[in-house]
Amino acid sequence: MSVSYLDVGRESEPYDLFIFAINADQTKEKYIGRLKKFFEIIEIDQEKKLTIQETCKVFTHKARTESGWLTNVIIWFLQYQKNRISRDEITGSTLRNYVKVLKLFCEMNDLLVPWKKLTRGLPKAKNYADDRVPRIDEIQKILEYPDWRMKAIVCTMASSDIRLGAWDFLLWEHITRVIRGNKVIAAKIVVYAGDEEQYVSFLTPEAFLELQRWMDFRKNSGERITGKSWVMRDLWNTRLCSRRRGTAGLVNNPVRLKSSGIKRLMEDALWSQGIRKRLSPGKRRHEFQVDHGYRKWFKTQCELSGMRSINIEILMGHSIGISDSYYRITESELLNDYLKAVNFLTINESTLLRTQLSLRPKEMVHKELEEKNMELQQIKEHDQMNMDAIAALSDQVQLMREIEMLKKNRITTRL
């Protein structure tokens, strides 16, 4: 809908102002959900007939016209949630997340609330979650999920540490392989391309190979692949039907698979592969998160590989504090440090070997195989010589024992 300059200056809707302040789609979804829950708990819409936009309008009008109502209702809500914390129904972190949403809504709509005073009595929240890093065998099992996209998604997230929302920006031109000595040693990935949060990370050869296989499969199926092709798309009907109307679900009409769709796909894989099970009574969190668990796995593996911690933070897209202004590392230096972690981030070693062999000339591959065979033959011959020497030594030892026995028998006979 077009907006003329005459509309500028008119009072904006409370809900629109709230949404305007949120950039990331995932954050927006969570904030809207918490705001709806808040309205539901305080029963601002008792008949449950209003839309979220209408509810925001009613709430804002009531807060502006009834003195003291806003502060009292927020105090009541905070106390209600504190009681839930004491019953172990929610955590302190959950309540803090509600406060973030309410503060943003009030700030964007110029609703004055003494937050410093109201939050003084809130319980402290842990700044970390009680979850673990996925094990390598669990990741390998997830890769077995029967969807062409799963290997590419998981290997990419595990080796580059991109967030789930990064898939909404990722085009094929944002991924370029890095070759040294006829080998793919890594791949460069531009994360959040075109956004103010854009940064560079890297992929393992394994992850690049899985992405390349996925793109080749699409190309061989009839899709026109270009640099502007979305890396993740919907699946298509492999059976061509001339009677079909429309283009939805066809290979030559790709539809971007959004980050929300990728999350659902990964959740389906966890349940289908038997890795995720129903929570036991009293538990509210699964052992590891469906998407963020890969970021924790990435950081853990990179630390184990000996990478510099500050470089790990850069590859994760984190701020490094005041070092943002002073620490200047080249892309090449960052890559060299990342290469220390490639083996630690590789999920299947056989994939790494296939990547290296597939990009070398056949003559070179044959020559290397011949050299390896010669080395193996030399090792076998050396082992055989060692075995012969051991056998000869054993015979000598046995002979010496027999001589000693004969000497002892002669001495015994004389006596």
How much is the pLDDT for 320?
77
Looking only at the bridges linking them, the beta strands covering 199-203 and 183-191 are antiparallel
Whether 333 has a pLDDT exceeding 90, the answer reads yes
Burial class (CB in 10 A: 0-12, 13-18, 19+), 203: buried
CA-based nearest residue to 30, from 98, 82, 109: 98
| Residues in contact with 276: Cβ distance below 8 Å, sequence separation at least 6, in sequence order | 267, 270, 286, 290
How much is the pLDDT for 281?
63
How much is the pLDDT for 8?
43
CA-based nearest residue to 218, from 245, 250, 184: 250
pLDDT in tens, 37-80: 999 999 887 777 889 999 999 999 999 999 899 999 999 999 99
pLDDT in tens, 274-325: 877 776 665 666 566 666 778 888 998 999 999 998 899 999 888 777 776 7
Round the average pLDDT of the chain to a whole number and report it. Answer: 81
pLDDT in tens, 98-137: 999 999 999 999 999 999 888 887 877 555 455 677 888 8
Residue 51 phi, psi dihedral angles, 5° rounding: -80, 170
How much is the pLDDT for 186?
95
How much is the pLDDT for 151?
92
Whether 240 has a pLDDT exceeding 60, the answer reads no
How much is the pLDDT for 65?
92
How much is the pLDDT for 359?
45
CATH number 1.10.443.10 given to 136-236+245-358 = yes
Whether 397 has a pLDDT exceeding 80, the answer reads no
How much is the pLDDT for 126?
56
Q: Are 165 and 25 in contact (CB under 8 A)?
A: yes
Task: Give the up-direction half-sphere exposure of residue 358: CA atoms within 13 A in the CB hemisphere.
Answer: 15
Write down the domain spans for the chain: 14-121, 136-236+245-358
- Give CA separation, 373 vs 157, 224, 270, in Å: 37, 43, 42
pLDDT in tens, 156-173: 999 998 988 899 999 999
Better pLDDT: 249 or 30: 30
What gap in Å lies between CA 75 and CA 73, rounded to an integer? 5
CB atoms within 10 A of CB 78: 18
CB atoms within 10 A of CB 134: 22
